[in-house]
């Protein structure tokens, strides 16, 4: 007898044309960006629209935009913004570059795109500034107030003031390739995922840095818990949680774990206002788990393809899921949570 899965009871599964790169809620719609270069919108009830050819080539990365939209980057060198109605705007075109890193700030109304070794700052009006780095920019993130942004690259992280390229920049060096970057909500810490199976973190106040290692697989996702006390990470069968509650963050502390998946975790998304998280694995299994550990609920059964996207709506009532093969789904937890 197979265990009941929430996707069958409170959700709906469907197939998208290609690998799901990201899923983003805009009100009651969720936009799925897929590797074939298209963006598809769904509501809880069904498909709202499809926009093919947002990119003339592969869609490589996507992030929540700086207005009510989603930003996508492709191997056509384009940075596009797609809104809930399916209107597409081009923010920038960088021929012969692959746009594989994007970040945005709603507060600052700015986006950052990795164009080779440069981070380009974009506003609704287009390119504003350009920041050079020593190596290809692989990850970008604005601090919560939107004033500075962090660029992850080989050799560490560089923090720059988005509005003033001439201001002093901060270099956080650590040997190795840093792939993505995330700020804590209070902007006191920065954490990167690495090419190695490890995270690296810095306390910005004094540059104290720390390594969080011991993962059996690449760490493909990070998410802060609703109370910002825990950083949930993919990369192991258990969701590994690092404490960020005190002034020292995880320095000198041990990690906690939540429930376990049947395969290494590849996607994790903490609920926006409850102490639960959704975690998906390399075999397609998705589970809902309490942040501190405890009984998990099955959201989707393993089907063999890696989970690549998990996204809660802002009110936490809905969850979107997406996989490497294009399998996707939406669930409504209104009555369940």
Partner 1 sequence: MSTQIPVTVLTGYLGAGKTTLLNRILSEPHGKKYAVIVNEFGEIGIDNDLVVGTDEEVFEMNNGCICCTVRGDLIRVIEGLMKRKGRFDAIIVETTGLADPAPVAQTFFVDEDVKARTSLDAVVTVVDAKHLPLRLKDSKEAEEQIAFADVVLLNKVDLVSPAELAAVEATIRTINPYARIVRTERSNAPLDAVLGLGAFDLERILTVAPEFLNPAHGEEGHVHDEHCDHDHDHVHDEHCGHDHHHHAAPPKNEMAPIHDVTVKSVSLSTDAPLDDRKFFAWYQTLLQQQGADILRSKGILAFKGEPRRYVVQAVHMMADGDHQRPWKDDEKRTSRLVLIGRNLDAPALEADFLSCVAQ
For tokens 């190596």, the residue is 135
Supply the minimum distance, in Å, between the C-beta of residue 133 and partner 1.
12
Is-contact 41 54, C-beta < 8 A? no
User: Cα–Cα distance between 317 and 42 in angstroms, integer?
Assistant: 15
Between 48 and 305, name the residue whose CB sits nearer to partner 1. 305
Residues that bind partner 1 (CB under 8 A): 18-19, 21, 35-37, 57-60, 75, 96, 98, 100, 116, 135-136, 138, 154, 175-177, 195-196, 217-218, 304-305, 324-325
Between 77 and 259, name the residue whose CB sits nearer to partner 1. 77
Supply the minimum distance, in Å, between the C-beta of residue 160 and partner 1.
21
Which residues on neighbouring strands pair with residue 121, listed in sequence order?
A: 112, 129
Between 80 and 110, name the residue whose CB sits nearer to partner 1. 80
Between 10 and 265, name the residue whose CB sits nearer to partner 1. 265
Is-contact 34 51, C-beta < 8 A? no
Supply the minimum distance, in Å, between the C-beta of residue 100 and partner 1.
6
User: Cα–Cα distance between 110 and 89 in angstroms, integer?
Assistant: 15
What is the chain's length?
A: 337
Q: How many CB atoms lie within 10 A of CB 56?
A: 11
Supply the minimum distance, in Å, between the C-beta of residue 218 and partner 1.
6
Supply the minimum distance, in Å, between the C-beta of residue 325 and partner 1.
8
Supply the minimum distance, in Å, between the C-beta of residue 195 and partner 1.
6
Q: 251-289 as b/e, with b when 16 or more CB fall inside 10 Å?
A: eeeebbebbbbebbbbbbbbbeebbbbbbbbbbbbbbbb
Between 36 and 69, name the residue whose CB sits nearer to partner 1. 36
Supply the minimum distance, in Å, between the C-beta of residue 252 and partner 1.
22
Between 100 and 249, name the residue whose CB sits nearer to partner 1. 100
User: Cα–Cα distance between 45 and 84 in angstroms, integer?
Assistant: 16
Is-contact 181 190, C-beta < 8 A? yes
Between 26 and 60, name the residue whose CB sits nearer to partner 1. 60
Instruction: Please give the structure tokens belonging to residue 240.
Output: 């590994």
SS3 9: helix
């Amino acid at each position: 007898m197979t265990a009941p899965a929430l996707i069958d009871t409170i959700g709906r599964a469907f197939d998208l044309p290609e690998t799901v790169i990201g899923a983003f809620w805009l009100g009651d719609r969720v936009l799925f960006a897929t590797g074939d270069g298209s963006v598809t919108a769904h509501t809880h009830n069904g498909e709202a629209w499809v926009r093919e050819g947002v990119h003339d080539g592969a869609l490589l990365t996507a992030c929540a935009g700086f207005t009510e939209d989603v930003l996508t980057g492709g191997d056509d060198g384009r940075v596009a913004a797609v809104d809930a109605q399916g209107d597409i705007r081009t923010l920038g075109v960088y021929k012969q570059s692959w746009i594989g890193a994007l970040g945005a700030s709603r507060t600052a109304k700015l986006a950052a795109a990795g164009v080779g070794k440069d981070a380009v700052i974009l506003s609704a009006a287009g390119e504003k500034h350009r920041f050079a780095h020593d190596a290809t920019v692989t990850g970008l993130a604005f601090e919560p107030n939107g004033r500075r942004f962090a660029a992850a690259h080989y050799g560490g992280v560089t923090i720059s003031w988005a509005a003033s390229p001439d201001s002093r920049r901060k270099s956080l060096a650590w040997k190795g390739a840093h792939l993505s970057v995330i700020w804590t909500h209070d902007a006191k810490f920065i954490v990167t995922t690495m090419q190695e199976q490890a995270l690296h973190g810095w306390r910005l106040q004094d540059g104290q840095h720390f390594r969080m290692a011991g993962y059996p697989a690449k760490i493909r996702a990070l998410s802060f818990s609703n109370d910002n006390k825990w950083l949930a990470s993919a990369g192991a069968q258990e969701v590994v949680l690092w404490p960020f509650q005190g002034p020292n963050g995880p320095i000198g502390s041990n990690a906690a774990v939540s429930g376990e998946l049947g395969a290494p975790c590849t996607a994790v998304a903490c609920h926006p206002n409850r102490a639960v998280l959704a975690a998906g694995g390399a075999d397609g299994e998705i589970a809902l788990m309490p942040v501190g550990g405890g009984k998990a609920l099955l959201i989707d059964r393993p089907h063999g393809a890696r989970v690549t996207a998990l996204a809660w709506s802002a009110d936490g009532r809905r969850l979107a899921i997406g996989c490497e093969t294009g399998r996707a789904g939406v669930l409504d937890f209104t009555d369940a949570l």
